[in-house]
Structure 1
Amino acid sequence: MTTRREAVHDTLRRNEGFRSAQDVYAEMRLHGAKIGLTTVYRALQALADNGQVDVLRTDDGESVYRACASDVHHHHLVCRKCGRTVEVAGPAVERWAEAVGREHGFTEITHTVEVFGTCASCSPSVPSSG
């Protein structure tokens, strides 16, 4: 791994949530890194291709990145408010994706599943009835 790619990866590992390339670039520059935005984009793409970072598309179509905590296939539960992310296994999703693919004659099935909600910390407290 190149030094710059490792520096981008280190920046992502210091944060829990998903970050845009611009956010990663800004943080790196703030800490004195001599790196261009194009280099950050290339590093993020290489890291994603190698399975070292997860990529999500936001509602407005922007790609955001997060260092993988696991090296096995997984899905994400993401808080819409704070961005907190939990990696989750989804065996039922795996079986469903394979079955749907076979049903329609597809092979080499891959998929991405992200589940969005509001985490307990960001949820308004529900008054108890009583």
Structure 2
Amino acid sequence: MTTAKRNTWQREAVREALGSSDGFISAQGLYSNLRDGGSPIGLATVYRALASLAVEGEADSLQSPEGEALYRACSTTGHHHHLICRNCGLTVEIEADAVEEWAQQVASANGFTEPQHVVDVFGLCRDCSAQARSAQASA
């Protein structure tokens, strides 16, 4: 039996701050933004609210290449994947039918059922790639 989460002022503050953030942000970054705005919210509360929002599908959650959990307000319902720029943080939600098929095949071949997975692809977006090429050419 699942219990509904109480919609406290702290949870609502985290939801609103997440919605006004551009791209993915860490719990620490969101906490800092809230505190800078005068909120008395605690860091542990921010972590709990973000984790809960992610579980309930109201927030996307991913792990950065450095291993830090990052969050953003979810703009798509259901299972999806991301392309994420390592430089500027631009994030694009993508369909990945080939990944879904691959995950199912690998799980099945190894006797697993009900596979779940997380796939986020990190790289450089078009603009950051152009800047990197320009910087290399002028070096």
Q: Over the residues paired in the alignment, what is the CA RMSD in angstroms?
A: 1.4
Name the TM-score, length of structure 2 as normaliser: 0.85
Conservation of the 8 A alpha-carbon contact between 1:84 and 1:119:
yes
* Pairs within 5 Å for 1:49-64: 49-64=55-70
Of 105, 113, 117 in structure 1, the residue corresponding to residue 119 of structure 2 is: 113
* Pairs within 5 Å for 1:1-130: 1-124=7-130
| Amino acid of the structure 1 residue aligned with 2:26 | S
Gaps of 5+ in 1: none
Percentage of identical aligned residues: 50
Q: Secondary structure at the match of 2:88?
A: coil
| Amino acid of the structure 2 residue aligned with 1:32 | G
| Amino acid of the structure 2 residue aligned with 1:35 | I
Shift of residue 89 of structure 1? Answer: 1.0
Shift of residue 16 of structure 1? Answer: 2.7
| Amino acid of the structure 2 residue aligned with 1:97 | A
Larger helix proportion, structure 1 or 2? Answer: 2
Gaps of 5+ in 2: 1-6, 135-139
Conservation of the 8 A alpha-carbon contact between 1:53 and 1:68:
yes
Aligned residues: 127
